[in-house]
Amino acid sequence: MEIRPVPYDHADAVALDRLVQREYAQRYGEGDMTPLDPAMFRPPHGTYLLAYENGRPLATGGWRSQDANPEGYADGDAEIKRMFVVEEARGRGLARRILAALEADARAAGRVRMVLETGIKQPEALALYASCGYRPVPKFGLYRTYEDSRCMGKALVSDGVGVQRGAGAREAGSGAGV
């Protein structure tokens, strides 16, 4: 298996995005309405990754820079978008590998906290993120007012004495718990 960066509008990324949108529609009644642009995932402000096996795209995920704004982001945030593994490749650790690569890339780009939004109808995603050290944070982004939305975050840097910075820009609450 090979993980490599691709543009967000790369043909394989577009094909997997269609699949993830279809899955969102099955689970929630509609796809993700967050407006995304390929420029959001261009280094150093983000990256988009695909996992390939024998030339076939199996998994995807990206991060984009976010800073403090009215939607609830904090300075130094890196927001995960479009994490997805094709159904027949699930259970092989691909999402965990994509996630680790995204975290390393965002850290190298100077981001201090990784954040994501998922939902209660994706229990496997909630379990994955929790097992990788993500914790509930105050809601942010387009779905911050949705009851089914869950926002999580993880510090990417420590202060040199073992205390992680960026774990939560504010006190977690406001229904963001799992």
C-alpha 76/C-alpha 67 separation (Å) is 6
What pTM value is reported for the model?
A: 0.88
Please check whether residue 91 lies inside any domain of the structure: yes
Question: pLDDT tens digits for 80-127?
Answer: 999 999 999 999 999 999 999 999 999 999 999 999 999 999 999 999
In this prediction, residue 158 has a pLDDT band, given cuts at 50, 70 and 90, of: confident
User: Which contacts qualify for 105-110: CB closer than 8 Å, 24 or more apart?
Assistant: 105/47, 105/49, 105/63, 106/47, 106/63, 106/78, 106/156, 107/156, 107/157, 109/43, 109/44, 109/45, 109/65, 109/78, 110/44, 110/76
> What is the average pLDDT across 42-54?
97
Beta-carbon contacts of 149 under 8 Å, excluding residues fewer than 6 positions away, are 117, 118, 119, 139, 143
| Residue 87: other Cβ atoms inside 10 A | 9
Please check whether residue 36 lies inside any domain of the structure: yes
Please check whether residue 172 lies inside any domain of the structure: no
Domain limits for position 71: 2-165
Number of domains in the chain: 1
In this prediction, residue 160 has a pLDDT band, given cuts at 50, 70 and 90, of: low
CATH code at position 24? 3.40.630.30
Please check whether residue 114 lies inside any domain of the structure: yes
Please check whether residue 135 lies inside any domain of the structure: yes
Please check whether residue 133 lies inside any domain of the structure: yes
Please check whether residue 176 lies inside any domain of the structure: no
Q: Please, what is the average pLDDT of the chain?
A: 90
Q: Which of 8-12, 98-102, 143-147 is least confident? A: 143-147
Contact 64, 37 (CB under 8 A): no
What the block records as the tokens of 94 is 């691909």
